[in-house]
Structure 1
Amino acid sequence: MKNSNSLPRKNSPKRMTVLRPLLLLSIALLTLSWTPNTNDFFSLYYQIINDNIKNERYEANIDLIQELKAKSGYQELDCYHKGKLLHKIGVSHYMLLQDDEAVTFYEEVAFNVWKDCPEVPISEMANTLYNLGVSYQYLNNWEPAKKYIDQSLQIIESLRDYPLLDLADKYYGIGNFYSLLNDYFRSQLYYSKALNIYEVLDDTESWRFILLNELIAMDINFKEFHKAKKSIEDALAIYDTYPNEIDPINLAKVYLNAGTTHLELKEYTNARLMANNALELLDELTEPFYYSIGLELVAMIQTEEGKLKEAENNMYRALNLRKALYLKGESQHAIAAAYENLCDILIRQGALARADQHLSHAFDMLLPHDDFDANHLPIIQTSRARDDEQLIRLMELKTKIFEAKYQNSQNVGFLDASLNVQHKIDSIVKRGLLSFQFQQSKLEFLEIRIAHYAKAIKDALRLYDLTNDVFYLNEAYEFSSKTKALVLQQELNRINALSTNTDKETVLEEQALREHMNGQQASLFEADEADKDSILQEYLIAQNRLDAFLQKVEQNQPEYYNQRYKFLKVPTLEETRQRIPKDLAVVEFFVAKDSIYSFWITKTQFFAKTAPFDDAVQDAIDTFVSQCNSPLQSISPAASQLLFEKTLQEGLQELNGNIDRLSIIPDGPLHTVSFEALSNGNNFVINDYAVSYAYAAALLNQENEMGQKPQWEYVGFGAEYSQQLNEKLKTSKRFFGDELLGQLTMSRQEIEDAAAIFKGVTFVNEEASLSNFFSHASKAKIIHLSLHGLVDFDDPYRSAVIFDDSEEVYLLSPQDLYKNRLNAELVLLSACHSASGKIYQGEGVQGMSKAFLLGGAQNILSSLWNATETSSLLLTNSFLKNIKTGEATDIALQKAKLNYLETATPSQQHPYYWANFIILGEVDSIYPKENSLYLWMGIGVLVLGFIFFLLFRNQMIFK
């Protein structure tokens, strides 16, 4: 169920949504900026038009402009004053919800009348561009909307005398704009800009209160309910301090959003309290829309408490209020939300026919001009929904209806129909994903949509169980694989498309723009509070410039566009089988709310397993990971074996043939687990299987497109660091957590021993600098970093590898790897926690390992936690020796770990000392098997010798 108030700017009946209040502010500014002119014609009619707007007589202005155009006085107006009149007519169309006409008038102002008009103040031009962007937004035409809004903001930010309060209002409006685009990342940035300004200005308590409510609504949309609670506390604290400054209607909105937040957290008592507080402030006659939201919230609480009839009655009351508003010309989206929630209540009651009827009404309201299929579902290719999230929710209700019909009839056709709806949802998600340019925006967008794929997998596997048709097993696997590393693959597409389909100047310009943006982001991390506002402004400008540049490249270079956005098709089963060796099984996990799904693929087999995911499994994960991270804790056999049973046991038992290698594609919390350290009751998994990890099946055994032949086989970097390292990191605000970083006394030995294997190049201590890394890393086949690492589990872009700290710049961040593309077939990150980072469902760990993959590396050896230098030295040295002999990366690591376990004392066999290292990437060899050439030459000599012997013997016989 969805409370309409969680999207208040979309559903407002007075259409005071997103940028509408700021548009009115722009109108006011234009009015105030006018000073009496000698032209009496203009003065007279400008006053009449303004009076009409003030008194909501918008139609009178539409009629008036037609009369004015026929008058000689209008024809004699200069470009500035003629444009001002036309601007007001645009405003009138806008307020009448005639956005097509508003766009026509605004563009006439901006591009025909004011374009070459020297009298036009630049601030007025900015306001007109802003209003034009708003109108395009309401036409669901987001690209020109964004273009005009960004152009407006660039002008405004360049004006030194632009009023701060007006600037804050603009930031607030643009934050709302990006919130509607589901761009959580950028929306937060603009809201922060607005909040920073409000906090330094006097008499802005009411604006801060309103902005906090927007943050609450946005956090609700992105399921960040605990963050929403913090903003609720801040908002109510403002009200407690300045009760007379807060309008009752705005207080009611906060109460409504607070009630929704508590409802989502299943805190029903608090939810009911907030709903009642809101209803006490609202009057059904004067504020029918927000009163209907209060009724809706009460109905939602009653639904969760099982009071379905009471909930239905309250929802009908809310629906009737919204219908009355709709008849007066207000938005239909709120009606769609009411039908949506009624449908949910009726499904729970078992009244499926009525539920289906209400759902059809919801679709009609949301998509009044769309085409529908036989099940009254929209044709996605031609769908023009403004709110894809609401569209997805309606689709999910359709799957619930189909499922309920199956339960009543046992007709599997209903389940098949439900699966078809899930394909439509997938198309909507993919469509939304293409609207973002930046990784973080995509990650936040996908994070809240993974649940849709969990439902699809469950439905497909149930159909497979019922029909034994392998088609549905393939469907389940495809839905799982569609979620794996989608953003990573799209970024790799973008990077490859840029380097192969554009000229060198375009590549260099993109790199420069991205480097500038990344530099501003890094400065923002380290800035003092006094400097944050100006740096944030520069960061946003840099973002917009890069965004505009990439859009221009897409428009002007079709080859780049086609590769950049080519459909990321999940590899077919046969394609995956062709990529993997015959002794390896790929195990792809999908962790749903209550289930762990695993898909097993070998050269000859394909099957799926399902295990429950409950509190006991989550506790086992937490326990096992915690114990692996500390040699002082004994590994719990119960926790280890439970994880083995729920993830691997059944699948391993079903495998045929000589499978002794596993390529694991983890998901969710399983990213923190070292699978080779799990116990099967007798041995560690590593005793029986070589284990590697991958982000997605599509990334297994890809062709290595090395840009140039490596100059060095091996380049290693190692540093002991100075005694002041921790203090430097704290000063630069790049230190996370309580763990202090010690000196790496064995770093030199680790890389020098490794370099001896390959006759490589080493950089130690002062030479292990970031500048040397940039100079040499792109020319190496193997890169070895025996260095410390930093992990930020909240912001992946703040993670870093620490080079020698004697230079001023010594942190390698994910953004830095955009500067110099790597050609390495193997990167060893001995840095602590280099395999860790923020985990996004489906997408995986966002940290340094992924950054190196994006940077061009093929395989990454990284660490889940910080083990001892001694064990790291032994393992990496043994691993590289095995690599040199031609072993595949996973087998090389398995042999290194088994060798360590054979020689280590019992106290040193704890997983802490050896299970931290994991191999991520390919499952092939970097070097050919050592001496294989000589072996074949020897065999050839023997064969030739045998042939000559036979010939000689035959010759002797014939004599």
Structure 2
Amino acid sequence: MKKYILFLFYILAMNVHCQDISFALDSIHKSPGTDHSKLKVYYELLNFYKEQKNYTQLGYDAHLLAKWILRENDRPLAVKIVKMAYEAREKADPYDPELLKRSYFNYANYNRTLGNLEIAIKYFKKVIEVSTTDFLKGRTYILIGRCYESLEDLYKSIEFQNKAFQYLKNKKYIIENHIHIGITYTNIRNKISNKKAIDHLLISDSLLLKSKKQYPFKRYQVYNRLANLYQKGAGTVDIKKGFDYYNKALTLVINNDYTIELPHINYNIGVSYIEIDSVLSRHHLNQALLHTTKDDPFLPIIYAGFGYDAKQNKEYYEAQEYFRKSFSLFFNTKTPDIYWLPKTKHMKVLDDKAYFLELLKRKMHTWILMGKREDSLKYYQQAILTAYTCNALIDFLLKEDISQESKLFWRSLASEIYIIALDACHASNNVKDAFYFMEKSKALLLMQDLNKIKINIPDSIIGQEYFLKNKIINLQNALIDTKESKKDSISSLLLDRKTKLQAYKDSLAPFYPEYFTSTELPAIISLEDVILSNNEIVIQYSMAERVYGVAPEAYGMLLSKDKKKLFKIDSLKTFEKNIYKLRQQLNRPFSTSKEIEEYKKLSNTIYNSLFPKGIRNYIKNKKVTIIGDHILNYFPFEALVTDIEKNLYLIEETEIDYDLSLSFKKQNNSFVRKTNRDFLGIAPVEFPDKLISLSKSLEEISYANSYYDGELLSLDKATKENFKKEIYKYKIVHLATHADASDSLNPWIAFRDKKLYHLELNTLKNNADLVVLSACNTSLGEVRRGEGVLSLARGFFKSGAKSVIPSLWSTNDKATATITSDFYKNLSEGQTKSAALRTAKLNYLHNNTDAEASPHYWASLVLIGDSGTLLPQSNNLLFLWIGLGIVLALVILYKLFLKKKKQ
């Protein structure tokens, strides 16, 4: 009987092709039983369509069946069936993209809810490709953004959420998107992102107030988030405003009976009171606890809040016990004691990894406070073990295929962890672990980038970003200052520029397929592997904030053949101000004796901070490699005054070079660089864009060329295209031109015809042993915590350079020409790169007086990277022939000796 009924269904199905769903499918659905219980019959029907190649009907029926199965809470099966639907609709004739997009959307969305986020993103993007509906495109962009957020790629998430605005027309969805972007920006946790979060939340608040509908829950979300930002956000703190928003949010929760939100709002208020009023803090945390159930996923966060409160009240054991409870609930496991720490496999499944890092950070700091109170090495060691747990989680995230901006975000959080870990290492005199954390805090992403394949990006699309970003910034500023009546037209223009900017970014996408990214993390050198000669010293610094926006802390480490010492730099607020002041003084030559005295006093103060008494004797008359961090990369150490009375600069006592990290140096030096010729000099002399001419630049490269044979690209030959074609052939590349790495939008180097932008350095095949950037500000740029300065010098390392000599400020081309000419003479005679540059600077310093002897003229150029020798190939051949001659002479003498002996 069952077969007979099914046969009738088949007959009906064969006669009904162009309707929505078949009568056969509908009849099975309406028959008794669950859809699960009738799966065998459903599959027989779907297979029949497949055999008949009736892909249109197969697409209709499989699409709807997947929905029914989803209602019965079997998502994995729903995914399999909707996959049948989209595969059928891809083959259907006639092809219907509107039907196909629905199956793509459901397949993507079902996978999203299952946590298959990469698959979800791939098929959401297919929806956008085939869809012509603005609403669906807008919704899809939002969901792609949510997927990237779950993958901890917050910058990519924001990028896609912002794309949705151009398609959203419904005010409700526009409001929701502003709220969610605000939340995503909040999770980035820095000054700029917090301000952007507030902007989006205030826009949503304004739209809510104008709306006819009340949307009380959305208003609650906005007020709660704004309160958090004003209470705890870097650069946005306004305690009074924060509590005002909390009160508004709490009123909405109570008036609308949002019982489910009582734990969240009370927790937020409780945490905000921790440093203000412990009684009120605990009251609200207890209220949060009162309104949770045993299985509430928010419960571990509440216990963490109790831990923060106990830590603030110096109840450290109680704090650790609360953290233990929190861990137990986070991982649904029995934690035996307060010393238990999760493994990477546990942390991989966490939804909010940034929050968990914050919890680990507080636990680590609590161990340090316990160690200081009880003078116990045991607690310092626990802090260090906790830091390694944080490190493992960050390593896992950096191996993921996430955007560069998001990687920089995680490196920023890591820098907070490492600086606290250094506190524990310093207190326990643990140099070995301190060295690891110092190395791990520097240039890790740059080392990762060294393994990327070089790509070619069409010149036609480079440089647009700079133009568009400038326009956007100008329009945003105009929007603030413009009268209300004109704001609509400016807003429209702003949207147009943002759309074009996004189109520009989209145009770059094809040039960055997945195989151009390296996810393997590079090895960190161990302290045991650092081998130094009697004459060599390495001094490494780490400088970062414990919490973003708060004054940083700084540590230094001296490494010599027989000495390893970790030290702390004190009075950081004053120290930081002094560095910025010194940097301003270096921007111009001395003009009065008062300026000279002020500089000597200030630079000597900084010298004493950077080189404490126990360190100074080690560095005299030695070759010192400085590995800086943060703002310590903004000035040349050799220009510090070591003795005010004698007017003695550090360069006169010490040979100095710089490196990004010892691990980077080892990896970078391991690459084999094959070049045909010695020297490529570039000097455009005259420039477009109203840049001033550099009359001495041709003389500068010509003098170098007299020692190192090669090619000069000067005047009309000094084009961007010629440079890109020639760079890979030469051992030394010297750019005597204009540049600006302090341009945060898009750093550039000027050629005769156009500029080369920072992005294009990724495409250069650079085999140079040395790149000399005799141009302005090439070692400056944006400081990114955990990675240092994102400068043009860094860009050339990324392109393959073994060492780089950049400039720290706008240079005098006459003084630069003198120093570089002397440098090449010294280098060609066999001096190392660092010794050659030092000798050139000392010659200039000792041959000039008064204002002409200002560090402004001689200290701008610094050597970063390998400091070895670099002889001209002609000299190499000469030495080779001399060597062969000596060997031959020894052989002849030996034979004569043997002959004489026989006689």
* Offset, 1:535: 5.5
Equivalent position of 1:536 in the other structure = 502
Q: How does 1:891-906 map to 2 (within 5 A)?
A: 891-906=835-850
* Offset, 1:481: 0.7
- What is the CA–CA distance in structure 2 between the aligned matches of 1:516 and 1:341, rounded to whole Å? 53
Q: How does 1:235-246 map to 2 (within 5 A)?
A: 235-236=201-202, 239-240=205-206, 243-245=209-211
2:237 matched to 1:273? Answer: no
The letter for the 2-side match of 1:255 is Y
Task: Check conservation: 2:621, 2:655, Cα contact below 8 A.
Answer: no
Equivalent position of 2:605 in the other structure = 642
1:760 to 701, 710, 715: 710
Task: Check conservation: 1:140, 1:386, Cα contact below 8 A.
Answer: no
Equivalent position of 2:732 in the other structure = 782
- What is the CA–CA distance in structure 2 between the aligned matches of 1:753 and 1:516, rounded to whole Å? 35
Equivalent position of 1:801 in the other structure = 749
Equivalent position of 1:907 in the other structure = 851
* Offset, 1:486: 0.3
Q: How does 1:460-539 map to 2 (within 5 A)?
A: 460-464=425-429, 472-495=430-453, 511=455, 530=496, 532-533=498-499, 536-537=502-503, 539=505
2:680 to 715, 718, 729: 715
CA 1:104–1:651 in 2, change beyond 3 Å: closer, same or farther? farther
2:630 to 668, 680, 690: 668
* Offset, 1:880: 1.3
* Offset, 1:72: 10
The letter for the 2-side match of 1:673 is F
- What is the CA–CA distance in structure 1 between the aligned matches of 2:372 and 2:556, rounded to whole Å? 26
Equivalent position of 2:187 in the other structure = 221
* Offset, 1:677: 0.9
Equivalent position of 2:122 in the other structure = 150
Corresponding residue SS for 2:302: helix
Task: Check conservation: 1:665, 1:696, Cα contact below 8 A.
Answer: yes
* Offset, 1:902: 1.4
CA 1:694–1:140 in 2, change beyond 3 Å: closer, same or farther? farther
- What is the CA–CA distance in structure 2 between the aligned matches of 1:388 and 1:345, rounded to whole Å? 21
Equivalent position of 1:173 in the other structure = 143
2:270 matched to 1:299? Answer: yes
2:251 matched to 1:287? Answer: no
* Offset, 1:42: 4.8
Equivalent position of 1:583 in the other structure = 535
Q: TM-score by structure 2 length? A: 0.83
Equivalent position of 1:625 in the other structure = 583
- What is the CA–CA distance in structure 2 between the aligned matches of 1:219 and 1:72, rounded to whole Å? 46
* Offset, 1:541: 7.0
2:222 to 254, 274, 279: 254
- What is the CA–CA distance in structure 2 between the aligned matches of 1:363 and 1:125, rounded to whole Å? 45
CA 1:804–1:72 in 2, change beyond 3 Å: closer, same or farther? closer
2:344 matched to 1:380? Answer: yes
1:358 to 322, 346, 354: 322
The letter for the 1-side match of 2:435 is Y
Identity within the alignment, %:
19
The letter for the 2-side match of 1:589 is Y
Structure 2 unaligned spans of 5+: 1-16, 50-56, 472-492, 546-551
- What is the CA–CA distance in structure 2 between the aligned matches of 1:542 and 1:43, rounded to whole Å? 48
Corresponding residue SS for 1:763: strand
- What is the CA–CA distance in structure 1 between the aligned matches of 2:38 and 2:846, rounded to whole Å? 96
CA 1:587–1:854 in 2, change beyond 3 Å: closer, same or farther? same
Structure 1 unaligned spans of 5+: 1-33, 50-59, 327-331, 465-471, 496-509, 552-563, 727-740
Q: How does 1:534-613 map to 2 (within 5 A)?
A: 536-537=502-503, 539-540=505-506, 542-543=508-509, 546-549=512-515, 566-577=520-531, 580-593=532-545, 594-613=552-571
* Offset, 1:155: 3.9
2:678 matched to 1:750? Answer: no
CA 1:119–1:391 in 2, change beyond 3 Å: closer, same or farther? farther
2:844 matched to 1:872? Answer: no
- What is the CA–CA distance in structure 1 between the aligned matches of 2:304 and 2:81, rounded to whole Å? 37
- What is the CA–CA distance in structure 2 between the aligned matches of 1:830 and 1:477, rounded to whole Å? 33
Q: Please, which moves more after superposition, 439-448 or 821-830? A: 439-448
* Offset, 1:400: 4.3
- What is the CA–CA distance in structure 1 between the aligned matches of 2:84 and 2:20, rounded to whole Å? 22
2:375 matched to 1:427? Answer: no
CA 1:866–1:538 in 2, change beyond 3 Å: closer, same or farther? closer
- What is the CA–CA distance in structure 1 between the aligned matches of 2:98 and 2:422, rounded to whole Å? 53
Equivalent position of 2:790 in the other structure = 846
* Offset, 1:699: 2.8
1:459 to 424, 443, 447: 424
CA 1:566–1:712 in 2, change beyond 3 Å: closer, same or farther? same
Q: Deviations over 1:78-121 (max 9, x none)?
A: 3123212233135436xx5x65555455445455x656455774
Task: Check conservation: 1:668, 1:844, Cα contact below 8 A.
Answer: yes
Equivalent position of 1:7 in the other structure = none
The letter for the 1-side match of 2:618 is L
- What is the CA–CA distance in structure 1 between the aligned matches of 2:642 and 2:362, rounded to whole Å? 42
CA 1:71–1:641 in 2, change beyond 3 Å: closer, same or farther? closer
CA 1:71–1:476 in 2, change beyond 3 Å: closer, same or farther? closer
CA RMSD of aligned residues (A): 3.8
- What is the CA–CA distance in structure 2 between the aligned matches of 1:432 and 1:845, rounded to whole Å? 22
- What is the CA–CA distance in structure 1 between the aligned matches of 2:590 and 2:897, rounded to whole Å? 70
Task: Check conservation: 1:582, 1:659, Cα contact below 8 A.
Answer: no
CA 1:120–1:583 in 2, change beyond 3 Å: closer, same or farther? same
- What is the CA–CA distance in structure 2 between the aligned matches of 1:587 and 1:625, rounded to whole Å? 21
CA 1:677–1:403 in 2, change beyond 3 Å: closer, same or farther? closer
CA 1:68–1:457 in 2, change beyond 3 Å: closer, same or farther? same
Equivalent position of 1:678 in the other structure = 640
CA 1:619–1:276 in 2, change beyond 3 Å: closer, same or farther? same
Equivalent position of 1:25 in the other structure = none
Task: Check conservation: 1:296, 1:318, Cα contact below 8 A.
Answer: yes
Corresponding residue SS for 1:680: strand
* Offset, 1:401: 4.7
- What is the CA–CA distance in structure 1 between the aligned matches of 2:21 and 2:654, rounded to whole Å? 89
- What is the CA–CA distance in structure 2 between the aligned matches of 1:721 and 1:105, rounded to whole Å? 67
* Offset, 1:377: 2.4
Q: Deviations over 1:670-692 (max 9, x none)?
A: 11121111111241111111221
Q: Deviations over 1:397-435 (max 9, x none)?
A: 433454455456544323222221211111101000111
- What is the CA–CA distance in structure 2 between the aligned matches of 1:548 and 1:921, rounded to whole Å? 30
* Offset, 1:168: 2.3
- What is the CA–CA distance in structure 2 between the aligned matches of 1:63 and 1:408, rounded to whole Å? 65
2:155 to 158, 163, 185: 185
Q: Deviations over 1:180-205 (max 9, x none)?
A: 3332332232233223445xx5x53x
Q: Deviations over 1:725-782 (max 9, x none)?
A: 14xxxxxxxxxxxxxx322222222222222222331111211001111221111111
- What is the CA–CA distance in structure 1 between the aligned matches of 2:151 and 2:420, rounded to whole Å? 25
1:122 to 97, 110, 115: 97
- What is the CA–CA distance in structure 1 between the aligned matches of 2:457 and 2:652, rounded to whole Å? 49
The letter for the 2-side match of 1:274 is Y
- What is the CA–CA distance in structure 2 between the aligned matches of 1:289 and 1:895, rounded to whole Å? 72
2:834 matched to 1:890? Answer: yes
The letter for the 1-side match of 2:527 is L
Corresponding residue SS for 1:804: coil
Corresponding residue SS for 1:243: helix
CA 1:197–1:566 in 2, change beyond 3 Å: closer, same or farther? closer
CA 1:225–1:790 in 2, change beyond 3 Å: closer, same or farther? closer
- What is the CA–CA distance in structure 2 between the aligned matches of 1:571 and 1:917, rounded to whole Å? 28
Q: How does 1:77-88 map to 2 (within 5 A)?
A: 78-88=57-67
